[in-house]
Amino acid sequence: MSLSFIRNKQKGNPNVVKYWRKNPKAIEKFQFVYNFLPHPENKKRANLISNKAVVVYCLMIILATATIRITPKFFPGVLGYASNITIKGLLDYSNSKRSEAGVSNLILNPKLTEAAQQKAKDMFEKGYWAHVAPDGAEPWDFILGQKYDYIYAGENLAKNFSNSKEVVQAWYNSPSHKSNLLSANYDEVGFAVVNGVLNGYETTIVVQVFGRPREPSMLASVSDESTILERENSSSTIEPISGTTSVLVKTVEKEVSTVPTAQTEPKIDVTVATKSLSLIFGGFVSSLLAVDLWYSKKKGISKFNGQTFAHLAILLVVMVSVWFVLRPGVII
């Protein structure tokens, strides 16, 4: 039974009530279709894009976001950020940026690499994300702890990125991190790429430590760099650390990897989950708005409400931004 037939029946037939009584399923169909299509008699949008429906969508998004935020507190490590970051990639992209700026390349130094590793592990073990630890330990303490006597030193941090290029690009786009990245005061660098659970989320922390030794004789050799890169190549499996005692570290013991290559695959990738959530809701409402535009024009339905085309345009821009522009990752 087509909708147009039902409407003709309504308009032309005085016994329309009789007709409805004989065909209860037609009523159900008639009512159901207007969940998706604008109503020609009421001059209103489809029920599923009414103001009430949008309130429900907003509440559902808030609820889903809150669930993603609360889950790590009860199930640490279930949610996280998938990544594939390598020391070689970080070094190559960093040196590529320095070459473009006409600054000499950085060489990997084993002591700075170890200082970066210690800093990353310290953040996981003490559960912080900052240049200065809650106990007051500064980046220089980790560098000096490796007996690296420096004239200049610096530190860049990143987490939740998916690949090496995005990490270096993020540092490059931030003025303060860029000044470290392209500083001619540094000759050497150390990287740590460490997986673990930070504040309930499976994540990858990247630490970049720069330095210039006080004695030029302390400069790392090419063979030192090769050794670090070879170690990265050979370590393809993730090994847990042990020997930690605090309650916080109890969950970290199983999760933190000291291997310099970080390839994490959490059960649920936060980036995929949040992007999907946003695109599903945005896509659903946009589709209904597009149908509303098309059907209203086709049937000549003139409704007294907001501009459907404007709603559709802004939602499409939001979805383009979510899909193409927004990326995970934080730097400090």
Partner 1 sequence: MRNIKEHIVEYLILFVAIFVFLLLFFIFRFDKNSLGIISALASVFYILWGIIHHVLRDRLTKSIFFEYVLFGSLVFLLLYTVLSF
Q: Which residues of the shown chain bind partner 1 in the complex (CB under 8 A)?
A: 51, 54-55, 57-58, 61-62, 64-65, 68-69, 169-170, 173-174, 270-271, 274-275, 277-278, 281-282, 285, 304-307, 309-311, 313-315, 317-322, 325-331
Judged by DSSP in three states, 198 sits in: strand
Give whichever of 32 and 323 is closer to partner 1, judged by the CB atom.
Answer: 323
Give whichever of 89 and 260 is closer to partner 1, judged by the CB atom.
Answer: 89
Angle at which helix 247-255 crosses helix 110-126, to 10 degrees, equals: 130
62: which 2 tokens?
């808030």
State how far the Cα of 93 lies from the Cα of 87, in Å rounded to an integer: 10
Work out how close the CB of 102 gets to partner 1 at its nearest, in angstroms, rounded to a whole number: 24
Q: How far is CA 251 from the centre of its chain?
A: 23
Judged by DSSP in three states, 197 sits in: strand
Work out how close the CB of 87 gets to partner 1 at its nearest, in angstroms, rounded to a whole number: 21
Give whichever of 175 and 216 is closer to partner 1, judged by the CB atom.
Answer: 175
Give whichever of 27 and 317 is closer to partner 1, judged by the CB atom.
Answer: 317
286: which 2 tokens?
């946009």
Give whichever of 197 and 331 is closer to partner 1, judged by the CB atom.
Answer: 331
Residues 6+ apart with CB under 8 A from 101: 182
Q: What is the DSSP letter of 104?
A: P
Give whichever of 31 and 321 is closer to partner 1, judged by the CB atom.
Answer: 321
Work out how close the CB of 321 gets to partner 1 at its nearest, in angstroms, rounded to a whole number: 5
Give whichever of 281 and 295 is closer to partner 1, judged by the CB atom.
Answer: 281
Work out how close the CB of 309 gets to partner 1 at its nearest, in angstroms, rounded to a whole number: 6
User: For 188, what's the count of Cα atoms within 13 Å in the CB-facing half-sphere?
Assistant: 31
Work out how close the CB of 265 gets to partner 1 at its nearest, in angstroms, rounded to a whole number: 17
Work out how close the CB of 54 gets to partner 1 at its nearest, in angstroms, rounded to a whole number: 4
| CA-to-CA dists, residue 259 to 25, 37, 104, 231, angstroms | 64, 56, 28, 9
Tell me which residue of 296, 327, 322 sits closest to 309, measured CA to CA.
296
Percent of the chain that is helix, strand, coil (3-state, to 5): 55, 15, 30
Work out how close the CB of 224 gets to partner 1 at its nearest, in angstroms, rounded to a whole number: 31
Work out how close the CB of 105 gets to partner 1 at its nearest, in angstroms, rounded to a whole number: 24
DSSP characters over 222-235: HHHHHHHHHHHHH-
Q: How far is CA 248 from the centre of its chain?
A: 24
Give whichever of 291 and 322 is closer to partner 1, judged by the CB atom.
Answer: 322
